[in-house]
């Protein structure tokens, strides 16, 4: 059975090579040779002209978001909000805040105030394996 599969693959390879030669001859390209269709690509072979580091992506801007919490409210309640209204979130006071980059959770942290500006101190960074696992949920 394996010999039949190999013969079928050889027949297909020969037919495809003949078709390439015929197409090239029809296009007027002289001395066209059949290409090796099933050439081997080694994973260890370097890609031509590929940079060896990630310096080229370091200046790409991303959107960083700190999420304090979420809530769902009815439109009726939303329209009744005014200055001074309090909206209850699902996060508890003192809980770590989520840090998202382009909508993907990358870390958790706590709110801090530095020179009258809010910031976040990272307390837990999500591992790449955990990020991938969360994507598949």
CATH entry 2.40.110.10 includes domain 55-135: no
Q: What is the mean pLDDT of residues 23-32?
A: 60
Q: What is the mean pLDDT of residues 14-27?
A: 72
pLDDT digits (tens, 9 = 90+) for 34-61: 555 555 655 555 555 555 677 788 888 9
pLDDT confidence bin for 83, thresholds 50/70/90: very high
Cα–Cα distance, 69 to 92 (Å, whole number): 8
Q: What is the pLDDT of residue 7?
A: 55
pLDDT confidence bin for 75, thresholds 50/70/90: very high
């Amino acid at each position: 059975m394996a010999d039949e599969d190999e013969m079928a693959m050889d027949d297909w390879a020969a037919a495809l090579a003949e078709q390439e030669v015929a197409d090239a001859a029809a296009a007027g390209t002289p001395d066209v040779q059949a290409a090796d269709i099933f050439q081997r690509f080694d994973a260890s072979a370097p890609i031509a002209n590929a940079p060896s580091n990630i310096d080229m992506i370091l200046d790409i801007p991303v959107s960083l978001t700190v999420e304090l919490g979420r809530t769902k409210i009815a439109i009726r309640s939303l329209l009744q909000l005014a200055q001074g209204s309090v909206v209850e979130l699902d996060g508890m006071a003192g809980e770590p805040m989520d840090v998202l980059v382009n909508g993907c959770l990358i870390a958790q942290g706590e709110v801090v105030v530095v020179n009258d500006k809010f910031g976040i101190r990272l307390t837990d960074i999500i591992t790449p394996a955990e990020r991938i696992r969360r994507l598949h949920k």
